[in-house]
Amino acid sequence: MLEEGGPRSASGERRRRYLRWGRIAVTIAAVAYLASRVDAADVLNAFRRLSLGAALTAISVIMAGLCCGMARWRLLLRAYGAIDIPSWPRTAHLYFVGHFYNTYAPGGVGGDVIRGVAGRKAFGDLDLASATSGVAVVFIERIIGVSALLVLATVAYLIRPIPGIENLGLWASLGLGAAAAALIGIAVAPRLARFLPEKLGKPLRALPRLYSIGPFLAAILLSLVIHFITIVAGHAIVHSLEPSVTFAQSAVVMPLIGASAFFPFTVGGAGVREAAFAALYGTVGVPEASAYAASLSFWATQLLTAGVGGVINLFVPLSGREHD
């Protein structure tokens, strides 16, 4: 049996290091390629057309989305039987600081780990099951968020297809089916585990049991609201740069751009996000320079709003509130 810190640990660390540098290399290559496609002066000219009102609108609605995210987390804790849900100030502290780490730290999941570990106290903090439940609820929150994104993108596309991307019909339908399967699956997984083979049933048994369907459904609705808010933020920026873009067009394009953010091989979605903005908004006549400027502006609003959590943690570190 290998001891902790032995060859297996060293091998894992080496793989993580290779993956990290690989992601950096892919990010640099993607950004360099996109930069070669447009004149920097055209992108700067597009930036100058961004109005202060549009930027403030985007920042404001993204902050509203974060508040909805806090409410969603509390609803899911209640749905899965938490007995000591954090107070609203504590929830806000954990959520904003977690969002900061998700945005600025490598990997994009550091904030989820923070909330998951803190969430164990909501389940009594008595044993391993309590700790697992806290982390699992944050994981479930992620699944619900992605599923809601798929639903919104699919419905928007089916209601109002955009010329140039009509062939997404099959993928949209599959996405809707996958979202429905994921939402139903996480709700009933622990109950189904005993009917499945051990290898399939064991991870499902680790998921907490759903005790209340009402808060669970409310969390799903809030996820749709959060992604709708993202559409509003993205459209405010793009419409400021290219007034011909309609909200109906952004309602189809922005969820698809959001889905591209889950591409795992670049740092913070850099390169992939800009390519998605250019390709998808290009179907409605947005020039590449404007699309890149819109993408970078949208990213800047995310950095600014996430920075709020960094400032909060600077003055009220998490370590100082562990026993609240």
Q: What is the mean pLDDT of residues 200-224?
A: 82
Q: Tell me: pLDDT of 3 over 50.
A: no
Give pLDDT tens digits for 92-102: 999 999 999 88
Count Cβ atoms below 10 Å from residue 34 Cβ, excluding itself: 19
pLDDT at 23: 65
Q: Name the band, by pLDDT with cuts 50, 70 and 90, for residue 311.
A: very high
- On the 0-12 / 13-18 / 19+ scale of CB atoms within 10 A, 298 is buried
Stated as kind and residue range, the H or E segment containing 26 is helix 7-37
Q: Tell me: pLDDT of 128 over 50.
A: no
Q: Tell me: pLDDT of 249 over 80.
A: yes
**Could you tell me the residue ranges of all domains in the chain?**
38-139+209-321
Mean of per-residue pLDDT scores for the chain: 79
Q: Which two tokens stand for residue 319?
A: 């370590």
Is the entire prediction scored with pTM above 0.85?
no
Q: Tell me: pLDDT of 172 over 50.
A: yes
The answer to whether 121 and 323 have CB atoms below 8 angstroms apart is no
Q: Tell me: pLDDT of 241 over 50.
A: yes
Q: Tell me: pLDDT of 125 over 60.
A: no
